[in-house]
Structure 1
Amino acid sequence: MDAKSLRQLSRQLVRQLGMLDNQCGTMALTPVQAHSLIELEQSATTVNEMAHRLNVDKSNASRTLAVLLNQGLVKSVPNPLDKRSQIFQLTTTGKEKLAALHQQLNTQVDSWLAQMDLDEINQLDQSLKRYTKSMLAASRQSEYEIRRMTPLDNASIAAVIRRVSAEYGLTADKGYGVADPTLDTMSEVYQHEGSNYWVIEHNNRILGGGGIAPLAGEDKVCELQKMYFLPELRGRGLARKLAVTALDFARKQGYAGCYLETTANLTEAIALYQSLGFVKIHHAMGSTGHDACEVRMLKTF
């Protein structure tokens, strides 16, 4: 699926959900008013907080809450933490109207889900959650660049690898990647066919990286290598984005699978790899030279 196809499907979904109409379902509520009531069902909120939750500007949120206030669906009380603002919450009438809206829309969606098998429903659930996470992650990545490594990056990425390795106790004497003799000249290693290494740059600083190279001793299998990210880079989805970039490269190179080795105390990394379709295997593959990494994972294409 490409962007054009996804946008077309999204437009059809928005239309089918009635999001282009002036009211939500058969209720005398606009979509933004309905969403506001749903947010207030979760917790009371200020105008600024509502704008943030709905991803709209403050004036839009303010107008919407004012209309709902006039309709008696919400009420406001002084904010004890800020005398300049009000906290909005549902009234009894608002709760009743929202309950009716939930029932109506749930019935509609249940009729759609009735057309799908349980496996399809589960797949839809996972895909929509992943898509939503991707949109949120992209909004946090605008100032970060993922690009191919150059010789000028050698010292910076080596420093990142040493720092992260020390953070997790991955010392050279235990046979981890930090002991590789090519650590300070990595750009040369990844110039070979079927190989590539990407760095993540922000404000002219290298904050992380990861690469793909053929797995020695295995045919048509590559290895995801040296995925290291400084603490300030984490939580933005950039590790996943880099890994996706690497896997896309691997497919285009004609690899049939991607192998990796890691260690059990890197729990966040293992969770990331599993979310990308890697599965744990009981035996080592190829010849990586990192016998200290007891967790082995494989993804087939």
Structure 2
Amino acid sequence: MALLTTDLPEMMTQTACSSSQLRQLSRSMVRHLGVLNSACGDLPLSPVQAHALFEIGRQPLTIKELAYKLSIDKSNASRAISHLVEKKLAQSQIHPRDNRCLVVQLTPAGKKLLAKLDTQQNQLFQEILAQLTQAQTQQIEQALMLYNQAINNAKHQSGCLIRQARAQDDAAIAQVIRAVSAEYGLTADKGYSVADPTLDCLSQIYSQTGANYWVIEVEGRVLGGAGIAPLANNDGVCELQKMYFMPEIRGKGLAKRVALMALDFAREAGYQRCYLETTAVLNEAIKLYEKLGFIHLSAPLGNTGHDACEIPMLLNLKPA
């Protein structure tokens, strides 16, 4: 699937450079915060034990729940709890609603040590924040929130393969579009894109110059996708098209990820603006488009044939 002006390797190189810098910053931050140390400050706790102490202090937890909160395996969580119990900082008891598992809570000694841990960490971060203006602190907080969300999304997207559509995907893509359209009442008789005569041969449609379609595959099944194509009779304008996702893959940040891939493709292909049409029933999609920078238009561009999509939007494709 051809680009207008440049090649995908350039996009990949730019991403690799940003990734390398971010990895370096992340490593440096982890080291400076003492995460690699054997003890957490001057307290008799390893970093994992300190994190476990904090989470159990918020509420009693099972080993499985603690492992999930700390993003570690159950054996690692079990060892952390065993050490806390040995130090009489925590105690376990039969779960009140499931006698097959144990729930862990802090002892009075554990609560006392947690208070010391909080004081120690508060002092550390006060010293760090003293180096920054209030505006810089807010900027870092916002950036870390985005970074943390991206990490969570990447974790939840494990097992999801995003790739270019192939001819053998046509039937599956069409089925996804029809299923999601039916779910939201976007029927063919109302003029929605599910009525497009090309729905069963999308790979051919998106093989034209300046077009592309990506599918999301999970365990061999195509469960979603989105595409970019030139907007007819509008030079320099592309259209974000046919973004559909089955319920199984929603809530993982995949819509944003695929949209960003599509917009990067559009920039590299030389487009100046990206257009789309949607409808009010797709409220979550509209929110995503707004967050990506799309603005609402008072009238549609061109004639896409989707008269029922009453919400036209446009994005100026500034360099990424």
The question of a shared fold, defined as TM-score above 0.5 by the shorter chain, is answered with yes
Picking from 220, 232, 243, the partner of 1:227 is 243
Q: CA distance change for structure 1 residues 25 and 287 in 2, over 3 Å: closer, same or farther?
A: farther
Picking from 149, 156, 162, the partner of 2:178 is 162
C-alpha separation between the residues in 2 aligned to 1:62 and 1:288? Answer: 58
Picking from 172, 196, 199, the partner of 1:183 is 199
Q: Name structure 1 gaps, 5 residues minimum.
A: none
Picking from 8, 18, 38, the partner of 2:34 is 18
Q: Structure 1, residues 82-125: CA drift from partner, whole Å, max 9, x if none?
A: 43543211223322322232233223223333444445444433
Residue of structure 2 equivalent to 1:212: 228
Deviation at 1:225, TM superposition (A): 0.4
Deviation at 1:211, TM superposition (A): 0.2
Deviation at 1:19, TM superposition (A): 0.8
Name the % identity. 52
C-alpha separation between the residues in 2 aligned to 1:283 and 1:116? Answer: 46
C-alpha separation between the residues in 2 aligned to 1:283 and 1:110? Answer: 52
- Does residue 171 of structure 2 align to residue 152 of structure 1? no
Deviation at 1:180, TM superposition (A): 1.9
Query: Aligned with 2:257: secondary structure?
Result: helix
C-alpha separation between the residues in 2 aligned to 1:281 and 1:125? Answer: 33
Picking from 112, 118, 127, the partner of 2:143 is 127
Deviation at 1:149, TM superposition (A): 1.7
Number of aligned residue pairs: 301
Q: Which moved more, 1:35-44 or 1:233-242?
A: 233-242
C-alpha separation between the residues in 2 aligned to 1:171 and 1:17? Answer: 55
Q: Which moved more, 1:260-269 or 1:50-59?
A: 50-59
Q: Which moved more, 1:90-99 or 1:271-280?
A: 271-280
Q: CA distance change for structure 1 residues 270 and 66 in 2, over 3 Å: closer, same or farther?
A: same
C-alpha separation between the residues in 2 aligned to 1:30 and 1:145? Answer: 36
C-alpha separation between the residues in 1 aligned to 2:90 and 2:263? Answer: 49
Residue of structure 1 equivalent to 2:108: 92
Q: CA distance change for structure 1 residues 87 and 165 in 2, over 3 Å: closer, same or farther?
A: same
Q: Structure 1, residues 236-288: CA drift from partner, whole Å, max 9, x if none?
A: 33222222221221121122232222111112222332343334344433433
C-alpha separation between the residues in 2 aligned to 1:122 and 1:101? Answer: 24
Query: Aligned with 2:35: secondary structure?
Result: coil
- Does residue 44 of structure 2 align to residue 44 of structure 1? no
Q: CA distance change for structure 1 residues 30 and 279 in 2, over 3 Å: closer, same or farther?
A: farther
C-alpha separation between the residues in 2 aligned to 1:59 and 1:155? Answer: 44
C-alpha separation between the residues in 2 aligned to 1:65 and 1:83? Answer: 18
Deviation at 1:231, TM superposition (A): 1.7
Q: Which moved more, 1:257-266 or 1:234-243?
A: 234-243
Q: What does 1:31-110 correspond to in 2, within 5 Å?
A: 31-110=47-126
C-alpha separation between the residues in 2 aligned to 1:26 and 1:298? Answer: 55
Q: CA distance change for structure 1 residues 161 and 38 in 2, over 3 Å: closer, same or farther?
A: same
Deviation at 1:293, TM superposition (A): 1.8
TM score, norm. by length of structure 1: 0.89
C-alpha separation between the residues in 2 aligned to 1:170 and 1:104? Answer: 56
Aligned amino acid, residue 40 of structure 2: C
Query: Aligned with 1:83: secondary structure?
Result: strand
C-alpha separation between the residues in 2 aligned to 1:276 and 1:265? Answer: 19
Q: CA distance change for structure 1 residues 149 and 48 in 2, over 3 Å: closer, same or farther?
A: closer
Residue of structure 1 equivalent to 2:4: none
C-alpha separation between the residues in 2 aligned to 1:193 and 1:116? Answer: 49
Query: Aligned with 2:99: secondary structure?
Result: coil
Aligned amino acid, residue 89 of structure 2: L
C-alpha separation between the residues in 1 aligned to 2:60 and 2:111? Answer: 13
Picking from 269, 288, 291, the partner of 1:272 is 288
C-alpha separation between the residues in 1 aligned to 2:255 and 2:169? Answer: 18
Q: Structure 1, residues 220-242: CA drift from partner, whole Å, max 9, x if none?
A: 22211000112222233322222
C-alpha separation between the residues in 2 aligned to 1:279 and 1:103? Answer: 46
Aligned amino acid, residue 103 of structure 2: I
Query: Aligned with 1:218: secondary structure?
Result: coil
Q: CA distance change for structure 1 residues 127 and 260 in 2, over 3 Å: closer, same or farther?
A: farther
- Does residue 217 of structure 2 align to residue 201 of structure 1? yes
Q: CA distance change for structure 1 residues 277 and 114 in 2, over 3 Å: closer, same or farther?
A: farther
Residue of structure 1 equivalent to 2:7: none
Query: Aligned with 2:274: secondary structure?
Result: strand
